[in-house]
Amino acid sequence: MQISSKEFLFLFSLITIIFLIAPLFLIFYISLYNKRKKKYIEEKEELKKAFEHELLKSQMEVREQTLKTIALDLHDNIGQLLGLTIMTLSAVNVEDKEKAKEKIGAAEEFAKRSVKEVRALARLLHGEEQINRGLVAAIALELEWMEKARQYQVTYDHNVPEIPGSKDKETMLYRLFQESLNNIFRHAQAKEIHINLEYSNQRLLLSITDDGIGFNVNEVLKLQKGMGLHNLHKRAGMIGGEAIIHSAPGAGTQVAISIPYI
């Protein structure tokens, strides 16, 4: 079967067009790939900057919260102890040796308690160092100070093995924990608080549960006042996790945070 000149010309033209289009298509594909790659790198850099900004913000908030706790304790606790020490010593009558001995003993006890509280404050000043030692210890220290107010019955359960993880993630999670506690202090009117921290399936799971008045989650999220809840979702998402809030009026609140931790 012979091919006519007309058919040959058609085939030749078709092959020529294909050979012309193929490089153009390849150039277009490479150009599109490079654009997408560039966009991906830019978005990745933006996310990295956003994470670093949020991490720095969280670190500053941890410090600010620590300084607030220290200021309150200096005013309400250590200041009171030192004031009692001064009052007791100023009331000492050296002529009445028996009572003078009692008052000096009481003043010594107040002074010892003051020293103990100052040492505890020094530990609190190294809050970031506590996080470096482990999230379990950092949360325990925070709860220790909270229990001093004797307004809440607090339980803390934890089951986290000693595994190398991201300290940045721990800092963010620790701040989310502090933020959840602040919400309880300000709004919950709770009497009991339960904290649970565990490691399962390469994830850190933190839950903060209270027996307070509760609220309608959807309604609060719609309001400006819901910014605190939005912040929990946002920061948990930035470290690849999620924050779920369970609550209802009169039924207390549970904040459940889960983040990957390998």
pLDDT per residue as tens digits for the range 119-173: 666 666 655 556 666 788 888 878 877 776 667 889 999 988 776 667 778 888 8
Alpha helices in the chain (DSSP H): 5-73, 79-90, 97-125, 127-133, 135-147, 167-183, 217-222, 227-238
pLDDT given for residue 233 in this prediction: 85
Q: Report the pLDDT averaged over residues 13-42.
A: 78
pLDDT band at 77 (very low <50, low <70, confident <90, very high): low
pLDDT per residue as tens digits for the range 9-21: 777 777 777 777 8
pLDDT per residue as tens digits for the range 170-190: 888 888 898 898 888 888 889
pLDDT given for residue 122 in this prediction: 67
- The answer to whether residue 5 scores a pLDDT higher than 60 is yes
- The span from the CA of 135 to the CA of 141, in Å, is 10
- Rounded to 5 degrees, φ, ψ at 94 are -65, -20
- The answer to whether residue 255 scores a pLDDT higher than 90 is yes
Q: Among 58-62, 86-90, 169-173, 201-205, which is the least confidently predicted range? A: 58-62
Q: Report the pLDDT averaged over residues 181-201.
A: 89
Token pair 């307070």 in the structure block, residue = 212
Token pair 């410090």 in the structure block, residue = 63
pTM of the model: 0.62
